[in-house]
Amino acid sequence: MREVVQVRRGAYHDSVTLMRVSRALSGLPGVAAAMVAMATDLNVSIIRDLGFTVPETGPGDLVIAVRAHDTKAAVEAADRQLAPAAREDTAPEQPPLTTRSAAGGPADLVLISVPGEYAFLEAHDAVQAGLPVMIFSDDVPVAQERRLKELAEDRDVLVMGPDCGTAVIGGVGLGFANVLSPGPVGIVAASGTGAQQVTSLLDWAGTGVSHVLGVGGRDLSAAVGGLSTLRALRMLDEDPATELVVLISKPPSPEVAGAVREAVERLRTPVVRALLQEGAPDLTEATEQALRALGRPVPEWPSWPSWSGRTAGSKAIRGLYAGGTLAAEAALVAGRGEFVDYGDDAYTRGRAHPMIDPTLRVEALARAGEEEVVLMDVVLGHAADPDPAASLAHAVARTPATVVIALVGTEGDPQDLHRQAAAFREAGAAVFTSNAQAARHARSLL
């Protein structure tokens, strides 16, 4: 077994791409360990923990670390996946090296996906240039978030995020996004997976969306003051294609809730609020409210019952979630159990999001007991695992626990929702397109 560590100066790639490359290399025959990452302090520490010796690097450098029987072949495989698609009809062009220089071009939105400690400066340059920003990065200090959104008010632009994982602008999905039809519903969401649940259910009901504007999970906190939420509501109110708005969030701080309530009362466009708290509608019920407000029928949400015979007699619910809002909703609906959000920063530092990498949840399924109901989400769409059933269904089949799955997605998603549902059902799970209905079913098995 040989190993190699290559450092490529100034060769930037976004974190999602590098996580996918690392995962692909690790799965190759003869590869014992592999990581391809930007040389941030955290990533270098992880690479050294894998037993590699890393030379002096800077955060703008790319590190390729491989331990394999044939390291040359593994590095060549990494290069093939990192190489941009060849275009025969155009000469190669030097891409902009900074956000400031890129903002002077034809772009009308900036997507930032860099380590959190560097996101503020990049977003600041974009907002200063008068461009809206989607900040995929997490770990951005809340004071910096507030400053960016105050500056955005002055520049009359929207800041989506930080930690904004999902947006759809004029039919174009950004981050984790499902394939959706155009339609009359605008979404303002402090939750990516919450937005995906509502828009997927709307799609099942034959109703499309105008825009999905993510605002970041902290926007409705007292520290941030709902600045992006208030702006997003005004923007959708002015959009002629938007007939109704759905606002999705965990409970806001009381003072921000009051400001949002007053803002909603001033809008011409009706707003359905899906705020996950005791006594409030769950995401499925809020979707149904939206459909009724538009005068559209509410369908039966598709589900696929389990055939495994593991249907009752369990004593506890264990939630293994990729989406934090879906985990919070399931906990509210189920009323009991232990719920883990594997998409939380504590689990994603140095590793891919669980919507991409199933490893932690596969391990958790192996630890589940026969007296437990495991409740989990599987979220489809662009940027998510291209075939989640390929790894998770085997783990579902092997676990002694009873498994209930909330399968969030649309029939247009590239993973083929019906094939995913069939694979999980074949593995013994009960499958629901509504997370709330999945949680109620799990509760009924106790």
Question: What is the DSSP secondary-structure string of 176-224?
Answer: SB----EEEEEEEES-HHHHHHHHHHHHHTT--EEEEEE--TTTTSTTT
Closest CA to 361 of 384, 343, 349: 343
Same domain, yes or no, for 281 and 329?
A: no
Q: How far apart are CA 200 and CA 406, in angstroms?
A: 12
Final residue belonging to a domain, choices 82, 114, 140? 82
In this prediction, residue 114 carries a pLDDT of: 85
Looking up residue 383, the CATH number of its domain turns out to be 3.40.50.261
Q: What is the DSSP letter of 31?
A: E
| Mean pLDDT value across residues 18-29 | 86
Please give the residue range of the domain that contains residue 20: 2-82
Final residue belonging to a domain, choices 233, 263, 293? 293
Out of 148-162, 167-181, 250-264, 300-314, pick the least confident.
300-314
**What are the tens digits of pLDDT across the range 180-228?**
999 999 999 999 999 999 999 999 999 999 999 999 999 999 999 999 9
Backbone angles phi, psi at 252, to 5 degrees: -75, 165
Calculate what percentage of the chain has a pLDDT beyond 90: 76
DSSP 50-89: TT----S--TT-EEEEEEES-HHHHHHHHHHHHSPPP-TT
In this prediction, residue 106 carries a pLDDT of: 80
In this structure, which amino acid lies at residue 225?
G
In this prediction, residue 311 carries a pLDDT of: 55
- Evaluate whether residue 154 is within a structural domain: yes
Same domain, yes or no, for 131 and 59?
A: no
Q: How far apart are CA 7 and CA 52, in angstroms?
A: 12
In this prediction, residue 77 carries a pLDDT of: 94
Same domain, yes or no, for 202 and 172?
A: yes
**pLDDT of 310 over the 70 cut:** no
Same domain, yes or no, for 110 and 34?
A: no
Residue 82's CB: how many other CB atoms inside 10 A? Answer: 16
Same domain, yes or no, for 322 and 348?
A: yes
Out of 300-304, 356-360, 413-417, pick the least confident.
356-360
Split at pLDDT 50, 70, 90, the class of 86 is very low
**pLDDT of 38 over the 50 cut:** yes
429 is written with which tokens?
Answer: 């799970």
**pLDDT of 14 over the 90 cut:** no
Same domain, yes or no, for 329 and 191?
A: no
Same domain, yes or no, for 32 and 129?
A: no
Q: How far apart are CA 262 and CA 111, in angstroms?
A: 31
The CA-based diameter of the chain, rounded to the nearest angstrom, is 67
| Mean pLDDT value across residues 407-429 | 97
Q: How far apart are CA 47 and CA 35, in angstroms?
A: 7
- Evaluate whether residue 367 is within a structural domain: yes
**pLDDT of 91 over the 50 cut:** no
Residue 214's CB: how many other CB atoms inside 10 A? Answer: 33
- Evaluate whether residue 228 is within a structural domain: yes
Q: Which residues pair with 185 in a beta bridge?
A: 209, 244
In this prediction, residue 312 carries a pLDDT of: 57
In this prediction, residue 115 carries a pLDDT of: 81
- Evaluate whether residue 147 is within a structural domain: yes
**pLDDT of 442 over the 90 cut:** yes
Out of 20-24, 226-230, 414-418, pick the least confident.
20-24
The structural domain count of the chain equals 3
Contact 272, 286 (CB under 8 A): yes
In this prediction, residue 93 carries a pLDDT of: 66
The residue written with tokens 């991409």 in the block is 356
Same domain, yes or no, for 213 and 245?
A: yes
Contact 122, 128 (CB under 8 A): no
The residue written with tokens 């998510």 in the block is 384
Q: How far apart are CA 399 and CA 60, in angstroms?
A: 42
Q: Which helix (H) or strand (E) holds 405?
A: strand 402-408
Out of 122-136, 258-272, 299-313, pick the least confident.
299-313
Q: How far apart are CA 33 and CA 236, in angstroms?
A: 48
The residue written with tokens 């590239």 in the block is 414
Final residue belonging to a domain, choices 293, 317, 348? 293
pTM of the model: 0.87
Same domain, yes or no, for 75 and 104?
A: no
